[in-house]
Structure 1
Amino acid sequence: MVKVPADRPIRSGNGSVPDGGPITRERILTAALAIIDGDGIDALSMRRLGKALGRDPMTLYRHAPNKAALLDAVAESVLDQLEVDTDDGDWATQLREVARGFRRLALDHPHVVPLLVTRPLSTPLGLRPLGTLRPLEKILSLLTRAGFTGTDALHIYRALFGFLHGHVLNELQEIVERPDEHDDLLRLGLHRLPIGEFPLLRGLAPVLASYDGAAELERGLDILITGLTATLPHPDSPAPAVS
Structure 2
Amino acid sequence: MAGAARNSPLTRAAILAAALEIIDRDSVDQLSMRRLGQALGRDPMVLYRHAANKAAVLDGVAEVVLEQLTVDTTDPDWRHQLRLIARDFRRLAVDHPNVVPLLVTHPLATPLGLRPLGTLRPLEHILTLLTRADFSDTDALHIYRALFGFLYGHVLTELQEIVERPEESTDLLRLGLYRLPIGEFPLLRGLAADLAAYDGVAELERGLDTLLTGLATTMPSSDSAGRTEEVAAESIGESEGGFEPR
- The separation in 1 between residues aligned to 2:171 and 2:38, in whole angstroms, is 46
Choose from 50, 68, 72 the match for 2:37: 50
Partner residue, 1:27: 14
Q: Which residue identity does 1:96 align to in structure 2? A: R
Deviation at 1:180, TM superposition (A): 3.6
- Give the number of aligned pairs: 221
- AA in 1 matched with 2:132: R
Residues in 2 aligned to 1:218 and 1:88: alpha-carbon distance in whole angstroms = 20
Q: Please say if 1:83 is aligned against 2:36.
A: no
Output one character per residue of 1:98-152: Cα deviation in whole Å (capped at 9) or x when no partner.
0000000001110100000001000111111111100000000000111111111
Question: Which runs of structure 2 are paired with 1:53-68 in the superposition (5 Å)?
Answer: 53-68=40-55
Q: Partner of 1:173 in structure 2?
A: 160
Cα distance in structure 1, aligned partners of 2:216 and 2:143: 10
Shift of 1:22: 3.0
Distance in 1 between residues matched to 2:76 and 2:213, nearest whole Å:
17
Aligned mates of 1:201, 1:92 — CA distance in 2 = 33
Cα displacement (A) at 1:34: 0.3
The residue type equivalent to 2:85 in the other structure is: V
CA–CA distance in structure 1, aligned partners of residues 167 and 87 of structure 2 = 30
| TM score, norm. by length of structure 2 | 0.87
- Select the residue among 227, 230, 235 that pairs with 2:214: 227
Per-residue deviation, residues 201-236 of structure 1 (Å, max 9, x unmatched): 111111101100000000000000010011113212
How far did residue 55 of structure 1 move? 0.4
2:129 aligned partner: 142
Superposition map of 1:138-217 within 5 A: 138-217=125-204
State the secondary structure of the residue aligned to 1:126: helix
Q: Does residue 100 of structure 1 match 2:81? A: no
Question: What is the CA deviation profile of residues 167-221 of structure 1, one whole-angstrom value per residue up to 9, with x for unaligned ones?
Answer: 0000000421232433111111100111122111111111101100000000000
Structure 2: which 5+ runs fail to align?
A: 1-7, 233-246
Match of 2:57 in 1: 70
What residue is the counterpart of 2:107 in the other structure? Answer: 120
**Partners of 1:139 and 1:204 in 2: how far apart?**
37
Distance 1:93 1:76 in 2: 24
Structure showing the higher helix proportion among its residues:
2
Counterpart Cα distance in 2 of 1:183 and 1:233: 46
For structure 1, list consecutive stretches of 5 or more residues without a partner in the other structure.
1-20
